[in-house]
Amino acid sequence: MRIINDVIEQISHTNLEQDTQTQEVLAQELDKILDALLTSSEDISAAIISSVDGHSKAQRLEADMDEHRFAAMSSALLALSDNIASEGGKGNTENVLIEGTNGKIFLLHAGPKHLLTVFTHNCGSLGMPLAYAKQATEQIAALMEVLAS
């Protein structure tokens, strides 16, 4: 019986180490995606990658922004938008745009289980920031797909 317990302990410890290493690599890669996004456009001021259940995975937010609140709010808003689009017969939500007096916020799906929220300064054109955000979502989705397999 002791041998079985030792084997189980070894396997559990190995799986825990691998899981920890995978999470560290994931965090580093998500950070790289966010860094590239923020340097791609002067109009982008902040961004957060979160899971659809509202957990922050990586963020580049301003000091006064709470990553946990924004992850949860983004998740809820995108899920609600998905329901509105579906029930309204408009298909799948591609992105949600919030236009405020001091800037804009984009919410986009980044694969089936993640989303990207991008904050912009009060810029005239939406085209380039949105294009860079969509490119980042493709990178996030591809990364998550590789890690899932």
Alpha-carbon distance of 121 to 42, in angstroms, equals 8
Three-state secondary structure of 12-74: HHHHHHHHHHHHHHHHHHHHHHHHHHHHHCCCEEEEEEEECCCCEEEEECCCCCCHHHHHHHH
- What class is the 2-148 domain? alpha beta
Q: What is the pLDDT of residues 125-145, one digit of tens each?
A: 788 999 999 999 999 999 988
pLDDT at position 3: 52
> Is residue 16 over pLDDT 70?
no
Q: Tell me the percentage of the chain whose pLDDT exceeds 90.
A: 69
> Is residue 147 over pLDDT 60?
yes
> Is residue 116 over pLDDT 60?
yes
Q: What is the pLDDT of residues 77-108, one digit of tens each?
A: 999 999 999 999 999 898 999 999 999 999 99
Instruction: Tell me what the pLDDT averaged over the chain comes to.
Output: 86
Q: Where are the domains of the chain?
A: 2-148
DSSP state of 147: H
What pTM, to 2 d.p., does this model score? 0.84
pLDDT at position 20: 73
Q: Tell me the percentage of the chain whose pLDDT exceeds 70.
A: 86
Segment 24-42 shows an average pLDDT of: 92
φ, ψ (nearest 5 deg) of residue 62: -70, 160
Angle at 31 (CA atoms; ends 25, 37), nearest 5 degrees: 140
CB 103 within 8 A of CB 134: no
